[in-house]
């Protein structure tokens, strides 16, 4: 599986935007970029995914670099509830399973 690299942890202030980076320099043409998050003591939760174009949904935005070797998850206005581990994951279009890395632990400061 192609690997992703994320910072171990980040901090942000409540009500400010958060940009979570992810590097995936060995991404292949058939890999989708997925983001999941895991709130404390809960199961993982889908956030967003994309292939080449930037994507928006009610939870977040995903900005994908033109060469697809990096991406950024954007939380437009962080709340305390957004404190979680955020996982950037590559999934081949044929791949059912999700391979989780260590992710980025996001701390939100009130």
Partner 1 sequence: EPEVTQTPSHQVTQMGQEVILRCVPISNHLYFYWYRQILGQKVEFLVSFYNNEISEKSEIFDDQFSVERPDGSNFTLKIRSTKLEDSAMYFCASSESAGGTDTQYFGPGTRLTVL
Q: Which residues bind partner 1 (CB under 8 A)?
A: 30-32, 34, 38, 42-46, 49, 87, 91-102
CB of 21 to partner 1, least distance (A): 19
d(CA 61, CA 47): 9
Q: Which is nearer to partner 1, 67 or 97 (CB)?
A: 97
d(CA 9, CA 67): 25
Q: Which is nearer to partner 1, 81 or 97 (CB)?
A: 97
Q: How many CA atoms are closer than 13 Å to the CA of 53, on its beta-carbon side? A: 2
CB of 67 to partner 1, least distance (A): 19
Q: Which is nearer to partner 1, 18 or 87 (CB)?
A: 87
d(CA 14, CA 22): 22
Q: Which is nearer to partner 1, 31 or 82 (CB)?
A: 31
**How do beta strands 84-92 and 45-50 pair?**
unpaired
Helix (H, G, I), strand (E, B) or coil at 80: helix
CB of 53 to partner 1, least distance (A): 14
CB of 34 to partner 1, least distance (A): 8
């Amino acid at each position: 599986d192609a690997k992703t690299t994320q910072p171990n942890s980040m901090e942000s202030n409540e009500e400010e935007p958060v940009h979570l980076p992810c590097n995936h320099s060995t991404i292949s043409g058939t890999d989708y970029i997925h983001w999941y998050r895991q709130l404390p003591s809960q199961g993982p939760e889908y956030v967003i995914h994309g292939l080449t174009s930037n994507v928006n949904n009610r939870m977040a935005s995903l900005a994908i670099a033109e060469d697809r070797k990096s991406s950024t998850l954007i939380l437009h206005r962080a709340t305390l509830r957004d404190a979680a581990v955020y996982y950037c994951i590559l999934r081949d279009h044929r791949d059912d399973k999700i391979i989780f890395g260590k992710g980025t632990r996001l701390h939100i400061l009130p």
